[in-house]
Structure formats: C-alpha cells, structure tokens
Chains A and B, each alone.
Chain A
Amino acid sequence: MDETADLDGIIAAHAGRRGALLPILHDVQQRFGCISPAAEARIARALNLSRAEVHGVVSFYHDFTAEPDPQPCIELCRAEACQALGVEAMVPAAQAAAGDRVRIKTVYCLGLCSAGPSARIGDALHARLDEAALVKLVQSA
C-alpha cells in the first residue's frame, strides 16, 4: 500500500538520527495531514518505543492531530500584544464570516507584535488587521 510505503520512507529518512521522533512526526503530519493510530503504531515499532510513548508525544504538541482537518484554516493571534490592539473585539465578526466553512484557530504570538493584530494562512502572514480586513481574510481562506 502506498501510504505504508510513504510512512516507511519517512521513517527511513530519519534513521540513525538522535531524537528522531519529532522530525518524523512533522513529516508525517505534513504528508498525511494527521498522525493516525496506525501511523503511531508503525513509528513506535520502528523506533523501539511503546505505542503509549508515541501517543503521549503526539497528543502533547498542538501541531499534531489525530485526524486530518479538511477545513481551510486561519490562525489568529490572540496573545497580549494583539489584545492590546483590540483583537478580541474583532473575533465575533470573524467567527460570523467563518461560519462552518473556515476554522479559526487561536495562536499565541506570530512574532508580529509591533504591528498587530496579526494572522496567518499557511505561510502567508498578515499584520495591522482591522475588523474589515480580518473578515475579508477569513472569507478568502
């Protein structure tokens, strides 16, 4: 099966690397959009770890998910610096624009704190958002 071959390829690419688990999980998340229970089991076997150990790591980090998320996603910074510029008051309008179509994910800091509020879609960054700009961004996600 293709998926298994891909998974084994990812594991093999990191063979011999010390502390290989996180780099492997990043690649698996990137390739499959999630880290499935089956993938957890296969990675555990390859690294001579228990399933519980791998699952413990996967579930600890916000970046890893157990199921793929087909929804387009916008990451909105809601940390203090963006709060100081009124991001919280914009959230209801953004939620309304997102509806069931777009997922608005909260992040704590994109490192654009001198020009907030800020958001990220994929690797594209957006700063100095006001409510109208944010709503437009959500609609374009």
Chain B
Amino acid sequence: MRQVRISDDSLALACGADAVAAGFVAAGWTVERVSSWGMHWLEPLVEVDGIGWGPVTPARVAEVIAGKADDLCIGPVADHPFLAGQQRLTFARAGKTRPLSLEDYAATGGWMALTRARAMAPADVAEAVIASGLRGRGGAGFPAGIKWRTVADAPGAEKFIVCNADEGDSGTFADRMLMEGDPFQLLEGMAIAAHAVGAAQGYIYVRSEYPRAIAKLAAAIVLAAPLLAPFTVELRVGAGAYVCGEETSLLNSIEGKRGEVRAKPPLPALHGLFGCPTVVNNVLTLAAVPHVLMPQGASLYASLGIDRSRGTMPIQLAGNVRFGGLYETSFGIPLGTLVNGIGGGTASGRPVKAVQVGGPLGAYIHPDRFDLPFDYEAFAAADALIGHGGVVVFDDRADMAQLARFAMQFCAAESCGKCTPCRIGSTRGVELIDRIRAGADTPAGSVEALPQMHNARKTGRGRADDVDLLEDMCETMQYGSLCALGGFTPYPVRSALHHWPEDFGLAGSRGENSDGL
C-alpha cells in the first residue's frame, strides 16, 4: 500500500485538501496528514516519497498516482527553491511532522530545550534569552528576555505566562500555521518562560476566527500536560474583537471584562493578569524560545540578522502575490527581494503599486523604497513598521485613497472607545477623507456657527485645509492614543496620502510634503 502526505492546515483545507485526500483513500492509499510547508500557491500539495505535486484537484489524483501529471510535479519538495532559500528555525518542522504526534515532536528535538532550561537557574534562562537578542515578534519588538527578567524580579505570590494568539492582522497567518502545525513547540516555549519567571499557570488567548487552531491547541494541551507539569496551560477563546490583540485589552478579556485597553504604566510585567506580574508574548516569540535554549542556541540566534534585529522572522507573503506563503529568513532581507524575487511579483501579472507591511496599521510602501531592509529600526526610520511580518501586495489597480479610508473605517469599527483620539478621530477621519476625495470644499459650517464654538473658524474650508486637518488629526491619534490601534492607524493613512496624492484627487508631485517615505 502506498502512502501520501497531505497537509491538514486550514489553508490547505480551504483549497480542497480533504477532497484530494479522499481521492487517495478511495484508491486504496494511506494518507498521512502533516503540517503545511507554507508554499501556499501549491496547496493542496501532495507528497509521495519526498516528491511533490501541487496544486492537486480531486480530478487529477489518478494522474498523480500513475506518476503522470508532470505539469503539477515540483520534484523533491525539500529541494524546492522557495524552501532552499529560507532559514527555518521556528518553522523547522513545517511540512515534516504530524502536528499532534508527540512521537514526531520528540524525534525532531522536541522537549530537549525544556529539559535543559529546567536544569538551569531561572535567572540564567532569562539571561540566555537576553543574549540571543530575541525581541517580541508580535509587533512592538520589545526584548523578550528583559520582559522575563522584569517579571521574575517583580514582587508577587503568583505570576502568569500569557500567549497572545489573537492574530487579527490582515496579511498575517504565521501564528495560525504554527498553532495548527506545531502546537507543542509553543507549549514548550511557554513552559520555559514559566520556569524563567516562576509561573505555575499559563493562558493562550486565541481568536475565535481560527476554529482549527483552537481545536489543535486544545488537543495538544491535553497530550502535553504530563510533560509540562507542574506548569498548566488554559486555552481562552476571543469573541471577535480586533483590539484584544493589544496586550492590555487581551488581559481584560481573559479576566471576563470588555476588551478595553488599560493605560500604561503600570506595565503588565508588574501588574498584569488578575493584578499579578505577567509575561505577555506573541505565539512566534514563545515558539522561538526552544531554539534559544538549545546548546549554543542563544549565540546561534544572535549571529543571525542585522543590527538590533536578531534571529529569523517568519514573513508572510500575501495579497496579490504570485508565490504567496510563509518565508522564514534572517532579518535584513530587502523588501523588494521579498516581493519581486521570492514572491514573484503580483498574481495578476500587473505592476506592483504598493505593499502594506505590518498589518492594517502598517504603512503602504512605494516600490521606490524596495531597498528597505527587513529590520525594525530601518522600517521605523522610514515611518513604517514590520509588525507581525505580514507583507500584502497590491497591483496598479489599487485605490490608495479608498485604502486609507478603509484604515480609518476599520479603526472606527474596532476602537474599544476608551481614549478620545481613536474613538472620535477615526470617524472624523473617514469624513475628512470622503470630503477630500469628493473634491468638495467644506462650507462655512453650521457647527462652527454655534455660539459655543466661538473659537472655531467662521469661514469655509478648502481641500488643502482639509488635508492639513487630516494630517493634524493623524498626529493627534498617533501621539494621543492609548494603544497601537489609534496610534498606528495614521501610518497607512499618511503613507497613502503622501505617496499617492493623485488617488485623493490632489495635484502636486509625489513626496511634496513627505516626511521620510
């Protein structure tokens, strides 16, 4: 009897992997369900004795069995150029193991780091993470080891490890792939963190839009419980609120409250879940930890990357891109290499117009800045952010003014309402963009005429005034908001406005009032 390997990752399923698997079963083959390699344009990808075919449809299963279907054959999967160019640490097992097999996990080096960490003094574990240079992979990029040391040193009878698995950014799916494909690695990372800070209990807060990740994690927690003990992990499911990806909102949500952000300070490291010192780390941060705790792991990790961005980043190529999927590599790779080289340009074959990096709150980057290296500081210096490593490609049909409007509208829909710049600014931002796009002047207003508005201008506003007002409001949101939702929404809005003013119906050469990008 012949055996075939097919992924059971959500994306493979959404592309019809179950029907393809059923085709092989009907032909008398055994099917092994593994994690996804991350070559998403090839899903459903089937693998027989290391040779891959994709994307396979049920109608073509017979051809694959007969060794035909040459047009789908990619040869040895592991040698595929997309994979060969990567440096996979966090996703080292992707495509190779059965996600819920403790046997597969242990056979590929699983639990070795936990055993090693538990033989070390807790403070030394945090020091190893500091030495590795590992920074939070969720967006802000705060050094993970420093956070751990803060929690370890904080007074408190009880401490918690919270995994932020509320990956709500469009264009990102690395957390989902890891939770579905290699859940034990995440649990091992959490257990190591627990040892480092002295926590007995951990929570994984995962968004409800990921039902398969939830099911896989729930099963993995039960299977791994004896190995994690005395550390215990509880799964919490979100309820459809983007802002709960913000760490303080997430803590409120676990506590059973509205997912409103908390003002910082106090930092969650000192006053977090249920008022106790708490480590809040993203899925990818915690999943990177086992590599750091292997012998020489910290120095190996620190040797990868550039400047202060150390190690590898799982980059997600999404949107209108020809070779979409997961690409893990050291920091420093130029954005243009990712988009046009590895990603193969647009799926539509049309010219790339813009690339949004870092989710819905990330800046739109013009192709003339494709030299930007994938690096926290380089992006920050260019008024952009890496965020969670999502890269969304748009072709020349994209309407950047519409996308800027969408950013404000998204912020208005998802604002928790706690702070004024985000709650009110986002709605006013939608109105302003509409007015600018419509090309209409704002008449001498009915609002401004009210006696209590005696400080407001009495004349109407032209479009240039509205643009100034939008810029002004973006600044207020950026510096006045309590969290990244209101604070970062100006990134997509201003970058669209500065680089593609013609989409807003504004004359003037590109970059006229640009500040950086």
Interface residues of A (CB under 8 A from B): 18-23, 25-26, 47, 56-57, 60-64, 77, 79-85, 107-116, 118, 120, 123, 125-128
Contact = CB atoms under 8 A, between A and B. Distances in A.
B252 to A, nearest CB: 9
A128 B42 CA distance: 12
Contacts of B393: 84
A116 B257 CA distance: 33
A80 B170 contact: yes
Given A62-B239, A125-B10, A81 B170 contact: yes
A57 B258 contact: yes
B10 A111 contact: yes
B379 interface: no
16 contacts: A19-B256, A22-B253, A60-B241, A62-B241, A63-B238, A77-B170, A80-B319, A81-B392, A84-B319, A109-B172, A111-B176, A112-B11, A115-B40, A125-B10, A125-B13, A127-B14
B404 to A, nearest CB: 11
Given A109-B170, A110-B209, A127-B14, A84 B392 contact: yes
Contacts of A83: 403, 406
Interface in B395-428: 395, 398, 403, 406, 410, 414, 416
Contacts of A64: 239
Contacts of A61: 238-241, 259
A114 B256 contact: no
B197 to A, nearest CB: 19
Nearest to B175: A111
Contacts of A116: 318-319
B316 A125 contact: no
A126 B12 CA distance: 10
Given A57-B257, A108-B170, A115 B320 contact: no
A120 B398 CA distance: 25
Contacts of A126: 14
B35 to A, nearest CB: 14
Interface of B: 10-11, 13-15, 40-41, 43, 167-173, 176, 208-212, 236-242, 253-260, 274, 316-321, 324-326, 347, 356, 360, 390, 392-395, 398, 403, 406, 410, 414, 416
A56 B256 CA distance: 11
Given A113-B318, A114-B40, A114-B321, A81 B240 contact: no
Best-buried of A60, A77, A108, A116 by chain B (most CB within 10 Å): A60
A21 to B, nearest CB: 3
A84 B394 contact: yes
| B170, B239, B395: most-surrounded residue (chain A CB, <10 A) | B170
B316 A114 contact: yes
B492 to A, nearest CB: 9
A114 B173 contact: yes
Contacts of B410: 108
The 9 A-B residue pairs with the shortest CB-CB distance, nearest first, are A114-B324, A21-B256, A79-B170, A62-B240, A84-B319, A61-B239, A113-B318, A127-B14, A125-B14
A19 B170 contact: no
B241 to A, nearest CB: 5
Contacts of A110: 10, 209
Contacts of A114: 11, 40-41, 173, 316-318, 321, 324-326
